[in-house]
Amino acid sequence: MPTVPGSAKDLKIGRFVVVEGEPCKILEIQTSSPGKHGASKLRITAVGLFDNTKKVFLKPGDGNVEVPIVERKTLQVITVSGGAAQVMDPKTYEMIELPIPEELKGVVEAGKEVEVIETMGRILMQRVK
């Protein structure tokens, strides 16, 4: 189960939400006051974790949203070749090949540890420890 149901009113800046099937980090939440015939509306601005695109969507305050299950892990870099790194999970000894983000190229080296985010069946390298 990659996501869990949640309520739009429980969302906070810095947390995660699924927008158009893509896990995103919330950057901004604007609230409009309720009118005569309805609930307040939330205007949520988020950025995609994997595609890095900005997304904006509107939800009623009592509306339902999908919240991705995000797991942070520390993996060890085994080899680096070109724009990819082969990393190993020190607990399960599972080997994974990950693309190296532009901001981490030249910093990722064999023997170092990297912090990754895993959600919805995909893994993203975030920083070097």
CATH number at residue 112: 2.40.50.140
pLDDT at site 108:
87
Residues 64 and 78 in one domain: no
pLDDT at site 34:
78
Residues 63 and 42 in one domain: yes
Look at the chain and report how many structural domains it folds into.
Answer: 2
Residues 16 and 37 in one domain: yes
C-alpha gyration radius of the chain:
18
Token pair of 7 as six digits: 């309520």
pLDDT at site 39:
76
Encode pLDDT of 46-56 as tens digits. Answer: 999 988 899 99
Residues 75 and 54 in one domain: no
pLDDT at site 88:
94
Encode pLDDT of 32-42 as tens digits. Answer: 887 777 778 99
**Which one-letter amino acid corresponds to residue 73?**
K
Burial of 8 (C-beta count, 10 Å sphere; 0-12/13-18/19+): buried
Residues 82 and 64 in one domain: no
Token pair of 53 as six digits: 């695109």
Residues 42 and 12 in one domain: yes
pLDDT at site 33:
81
Residues 63 and 75 in one domain: no
Residues 94 and 58 in one domain: no
> Which of the residues in the chain have pLDDT under 50?
none
